[in-house]
């Protein structure tokens, strides 16, 4: 199983689960190939960037449920191992077609949590792309090939995601964060699911939700990341595609409040019962029901 690995780091020694590539892949460093000085000379800055030469990143949108699916791959690795975060059943063909066109090898189809507003595509993906494994948190109570826990590291090629527990919207919510190492993308990227939305957050009135827990999750697990960390949520309803930790710490209308005020806000949202909930939640406990074995 070369090129990607699933590693439970020593911080959490119990339930250790290792899919480790036998040797690190030492790839040639890509030169910057085009340095024409056409119009004027200018400074050469070191450029910590929102991506790296290794990372292929695509944000995909499902309009009906306003869900973002994320495609990440290590394109510097010979296998081009890739993962999809929060795929939707209705857009699986679009996503897998893109994976194939880009010559990627899909390793993981992952969820940030058990969604209540759409049916996950992970089961369908497994049936259409043999070899891909479904991933969700053990705390979600769902079935999947890989049940992750806080502190786990999900590797694809030389890139990896850290797992952070961010319960509160549901009891099993996690945030996936790109690694804090020099060869990983800079700034870091946090896939926050429904824990933290852009200028908002997920509701906390069902599926084991708790406004207190959500508040603590966001403050301890997300707002402690570097301020330039890019926030990529599971949904957006206003047309925003990304934010940063710094922006949300300053402008999130809910999470900038103190805990008591936050709890009051969350108690009085008066949101309707999710249309898809009774179909989506049972299905999403088993990878969208397309594959009962997950």
Q: Summarize as ranges the residues that interact with a second copy (CB under 8 A).
A: 9, 24, 26-27, 29-32, 34-40, 42-54, 57-63, 76, 91, 94, 98, 101-102, 153, 158, 180-183, 186, 226, 238-242, 247, 250-251
Provide the CA 280 distance to its chain's centre, in angstroms: 19
CA distance 195 to 137: 14
User: Which class for 95: exposed (0-12), middle (13-18), buried (19 or more C-beta within 10 A)?
Assistant: buried
**Smaller CB separation from a second copy, 186 or 203:** 186
Instruction: Find where tokens 């207190």 sit.
Output: 212
Query: Nearest to residue 70, comparing CAs of 233, 186, 202, 183?
Result: 233
Tokens for 1, please give them.
Answer: 């199983």
Whether the link from the prior residue into 187 is cis, omega within 30° of 0, is yes
**Smaller CB separation from a second copy, 98 or 265:** 98
**Smaller CB separation from a second copy, 22 or 24:** 24
In the complex, minimum distance from the CB of residue 233 to a second copy, in angstroms, rounded to a whole number: 14
In the complex, minimum distance from the CB of residue 200 to a second copy, in angstroms, rounded to a whole number: 13
**Smaller CB separation from a second copy, 53 or 267:** 53
In the complex, minimum distance from the CB of residue 282 to a second copy, in angstroms, rounded to a whole number: 26
**Smaller CB separation from a second copy, 39 or 273:** 39
Query: Nearest to residue 266, comparing CAs of 277, 275, 274, 258?
Result: 258
In the complex, minimum distance from the CB of residue 45 to a second copy, in angstroms, rounded to a whole number: 5
Tokens for 121, please give them.
Answer: 């595509």
In the complex, minimum distance from the CB of residue 40 to a second copy, in angstroms, rounded to a whole number: 7
In the complex, minimum distance from the CB of residue 285 to a second copy, in angstroms, rounded to a whole number: 25
Query: Do 122 and 288 contact (CB within 8 A), yes or no?
Result: yes
Which stretches of 51-170 are DSSP H helices?
92-101, 122-128
CB atoms closer than 10 angstroms to residue 205: 14
**Smaller CB separation from a second copy, 182 or 292:** 182
């Amino acid at each position: 199983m070369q090129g990607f690995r699933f590693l439970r780091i020593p911080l959490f020694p119990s339930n250790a689960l290792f899919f480790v590539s036998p040797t690190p892949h030492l790839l040639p460093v890509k030169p910057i190939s085009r340095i024409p000085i056409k119009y004027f000379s200018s400074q050469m800055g070191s450029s910590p960037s929102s991506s790296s030469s290794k990372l292929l990143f695509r944000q995909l949108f499902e309009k009906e449920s306003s869900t973002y699916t994320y495609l990440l791959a290590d394109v510097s690795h010979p296998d081009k191992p890739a993962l999809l975060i929060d795929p939707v059943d209705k857009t699986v063909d679009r996503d897998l077609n893109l994976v194939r066109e880009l010559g990627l090898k899909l390793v993981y189809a992952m969820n940030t949590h058990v969604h209540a507003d759409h049916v996950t595509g992970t089961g369908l993906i497994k049936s259409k792309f043999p070899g891909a494994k479904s991933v969700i948190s053990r705390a979600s109570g769902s079935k999947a090939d890989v049940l992750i826990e806080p502190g786990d590291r999900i590797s694809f090629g030389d890139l990896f995601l850290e797992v952070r527990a961010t319960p509160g919207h549901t009891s099993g919510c996690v945030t996936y964060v790109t690694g804090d190492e020099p060869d990983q993308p800079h700034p870091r990227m946090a896939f926050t699911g429904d824990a933290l939305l852009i200028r908002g957050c997920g509701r906390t009135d069902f599926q084991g939700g708790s406004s207190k827990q959500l508040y603590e999750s966001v403050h301890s697990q997300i707002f402690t990341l570097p301020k330039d960390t890019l926030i990529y949520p599971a949904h957006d309803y206003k047309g925003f595609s990304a934010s940063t930790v710094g922006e949300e710490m300053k402008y999130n209308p809910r999470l900038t409040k103190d805990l008591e005020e936050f709890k009051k806000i969350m108690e009085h949202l008066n949101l309707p019962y999710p249309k898809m909930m009774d179909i989506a939640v049972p299905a999403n406990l088993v990878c969208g029901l397309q594959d009962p074995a997950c």
